[in-house]
Structure 1
């Protein structure tokens, strides 16, 4: 973030007016700050906007004075969040600051339409719709038999990362957890770059770090990876060990979501999957700690991920 200045452009006076007007409409109470001493003008002070945005007071003062200083998209986004700008106001801020505008990503859906649910139901393989946070937005019956821990959690709180990292290491459904868990966290981190600072993402990350030292260590590694097709070795207390190929399919009109399908990788796994179809009450956990799904649901343990 440079403090260098050049000759003011024609948009700078408008930028100064716009920022002052947006600052004036937000009270300290709106952002969880005490009111403090009597204020000569309504709204937040410049130093408060700077503090909440994570920028220097001098830099923000120069920006609001309309001086020509360099501003990155990340810093403008921080100021936009502090001033609670809507999408149109955010775009206006970019134009006035003479920074190339990139629209904010569309909000990821929290539910699935009937047409996608019908596709899941028609599939003869385990399949689920994941968000970029690894929330399970929808799943078919065979997926919930393969991963019965998901069914023990209420809809709206089902999350793959939470299920894997909050369980005992021996009860983790992934046999190849030393390969699979680092890849999952790296893929999750790749998506997190578009959502830094968003409360739902930050809350999930804090919760995972608190519940799992393994997650915290993997998160601090900083590794990033894209989603991809992989072999997953699934431990199931009811039928044994299955090897499945996971394949991700994008969904038109649903940003940052994908259908993930699990295809048996060999004949033995295909036979075991057929055995799961007949189970009414599959077991959860490893052989040493296995308990029926019905018992787990009756305990009403709050296993869901933080919202």
Structure 2
């Protein structure tokens, strides 16, 4: 798959960001006092990866050259990339097919109804660009103003970075926001031709100084489950466990459910209730 010009520049910037975070000591090179840039020099990285320094420089400059999977694996090893960063590198280098761009999210009535069935637990269904496709009342209460936008679809990323209330709700706002931005970059790398990602990233750069600062760092993450502290409107800070489920028909759509990790979980009595039974 040929790389587009913007994708070649993104590849070069990603490699440069990862090269600058590796110290000579980490790869067994002698440390010298006279270093004008952080991390490894291009020549040092090329030597460690077993490739030409000139060729690597062209790659980092975004020139129209193609790196083999063997070369990418060698670079990834020297740069100590984790598996998500390796996948991101391969996509930027054109070794994974770009997903088809789409302007709308296909949403079935059955999928839209799921968050409503999960009340009183906060739950929402988000699309690939973090547009909120469906949510329940508990999510409305926990995430104020998340779904009040009238000029565009409600969006979780815009809410976190551009809604003032988010900084109060997310007790650990900075690490949560940084992680969300890293997950957005990973998804944007899968859809380089999708204009929705470009519009969202432009909005963040225009409205958030943090997004402008963090985006050039090229962090990537995959969507995952975990824990976070959220400020409940009545109860104050609560430690929530959240679980993410990907829809089988549309894997970029994700159902996220929040459970109070301090509350006991009780299983339903067998036969007491059913949903969609036959």
One of 146, 149, 152 as aligned partner of 2:145: 149
User: Alignment partner for residue 237 of structure 2, among 224, 236, 241?
Assistant: 241
Taking the aligned partners of 2:96 and 2:240, their CA distance within structure 1 comes to 42
Cα deviations by residue, 1:251-299 (Å, 9 ceiling, x for unpaired): 111141110111111139x9xxxxxxxxxxxxxxxxxxxxxxxxxxxxx
* Residues in 2 aligned to 1:179 and 1:256: alpha-carbon distance in whole angstroms: 23
> What SS is found at the alignment partner of 1:243?
strand
1:134-173 aligned at under 5 Å gives the runs 134-154=130-150, 157-168=153-164, 171-173=167-169
Question: 1:71: how far off?
Answer: 8.0
Q: Which residue of 1 aligns with 2:127?
A: 131
- For residues 176 and 228 of structure 1, the distance between their equivalents in structure 2, rounded to whole angstroms, comes to 17
**What residue in structure 1 maps to residue 112 of structure 2?**
117
CA distance in 2, matches of 1:141, 1:111: 22
Query: Are the counterparts in 2 of residues 164 and 172 from structure 1 also a CA contact under 8 Å?
Result: no
For 1:161 and 1:52, locate their aligned partners in 2 and report how far apart those are by CA, in whole Å: 23
Give unmatched runs, 5+ long, in structure 2. 10-63, 68-93, 266-278
1:105 aligns with 2:100: yes
Larger radius of gyration: 1
TM-score w.r.t. structure 1 length? 0.51
d(CA) in 1 for partners of 2:123 and 2:229? Answer: 16
User: How far off its partner does 1:222 sit?
Assistant: 0.3
1:253 aligns with 2:249: yes
Secondary structure in 2 matching 1:261: strand
Aligned residues: 183
- Partners of 1:108 and 1:254 within 8 A in 2: no
Runs of 4+ in 1 over 3 A off after TM superposition: 50-55, 70-73, 99-109, 168-172, 236-239
CA RMSD of aligned residues (A): 3.6
Does the C-alpha gap of structure 1 residues 52 and 187 become closer, same or farther in structure 2, counting only changes over 3 Å? Answer: closer
Tell me: CA distance 1:156–1:129, structure 2 relative to 1, closer, same or farther (3 Å). Answer: farther
Among candidates 205, 229, 242, match of residue 209 of structure 1: 205
Structure 1 unaligned segments of length 5 or more: list them.
3-49, 56-69, 74-98, 271-307
State the SS of the aligned residue for 1:263.
Answer: strand
Cα distance in 2 between the residues matched to 1:263 and 1:223? 28
- Distance in 2 separating the partners of 1:101 and 1:230: 28
1:155 deviation in Å? 8.7
